[in-house]
Amino acid sequence: MGRLVAVGLLGIALALLGERLLALRNRLKASREVESVDLPNCHLIKGIEAGSEDIDILPNGLAFFSAGLKFPGLHSFAPDKPGGILMMDLKEEKPRARELRISRGFDLASFNPHGISTFIDNDDTVYLFVVNHPEFKNTVEIFKFEEAENSLLHLKTVKHELLPSVNDITAVGPAHFYATNDHYFSDPFLKYLETYLNLHWANVVYYSPNEVKVVAEGFDSANGINISPDNKYIYVADVLAHEIHVLEKHPNMNLTQLKVLELDTLVDNLSIDPSSGDIWVGCHPNGQKLFVYDPNNPPSSEVLRIQNILSEKPTVTTVYANNGSVLQGSSVASVYDGKLLIGTLYHRALYCEL
pLDDT digits (tens, 9 = 90+) for 34-87: 999 999 999 999 999 999 999 999 999 999 999 999 988 899 999 999 999 999
Q: What is the predicted pLDDT for the residue at 8?
A: 46
In total, the chain counts a number of residues equal to 354
Which of 43, 75, 114, 176 is an active site residue? 114
The answer to whether residue 141 scores a pLDDT higher than 50 is yes
Q: What is the predicted pLDDT for the residue at 3?
A: 55
Cβ atoms of 205 and 212 within 8 Å: the answer is yes
pTM to 2 decimals? Answer: 0.95
Q: What is the predicted pLDDT for the residue at 182?
A: 98
The mean per-residue pLDDT over the stretch 99-119 comes to 97
Do the annotations mark residue 211 as ligand-binding? Answer: no
Cβ atoms of 26 and 286 within 8 Å: the answer is no
The answer to whether residue 335 scores a pLDDT higher than 60 is yes
The 10s digit of each residue's pLDDT in 175-230 is: 999 999 999 999 999 999 999 999 999 999 999 999 999 999 999 999 999 999 99
Angle between helices 188-197 and 2-27 (to 10 degrees): 90
Cβ atoms of 266 and 29 within 8 Å: the answer is yes
Question: Which CATH code, of 3.10.50.40, 2.60.120.1440, 2.120.10.30, 2.60.120.920, is assigned to 32-353?
Answer: 2.120.10.30
The beta strands (E) that lie in 147-265 are given as 151-158, 166-173, 176-181, 202-207, 212-219, 222-227, 233-238, 243-249, 255-262
Residues whose CB falls within 8 Å of the CB of residue 288, separated by 6 or more in sequence, listed in order: 25, 28, 29, 30
The mean per-residue pLDDT over the stretch 135-155 comes to 97
Helix, coil or strand: residue 56: strand
Do the annotations mark residue 167 as ligand-binding? Answer: yes
Q: List the one residue out of 346, 343, 339, 274 whose CA is nearest residue 42.
A: 339
Do the annotations mark residue 168 as ligand-binding? Answer: yes
Q: List the one residue out of 192, 201, 193, 203 whose CA is nearest residue 166.
A: 203
Domain boundaries, the chain: 32-353
Nearest 5°: the CA angle 52, 71, 118 is 40
Do the annotations mark residue 54 as ligand-binding? Answer: yes
Do the annotations mark residue 122 as ligand-binding? Answer: no
Q: How far is it, in rounded angstroms, from Cα 126 to Cα 230?
A: 19
CA distance from start to end of the chain? 71
Q: How confident is the model at residue 19 (pLDDT cuts 50, 70, 90)?
A: confident
Do the annotations mark residue 268 as ligand-binding? Answer: yes
Q: Catalytic site residue 114?
A: yes
Higher per-residue confidence, 5 vs 200: 200
What value does the mean pLDDT of the chain take?
A: 94
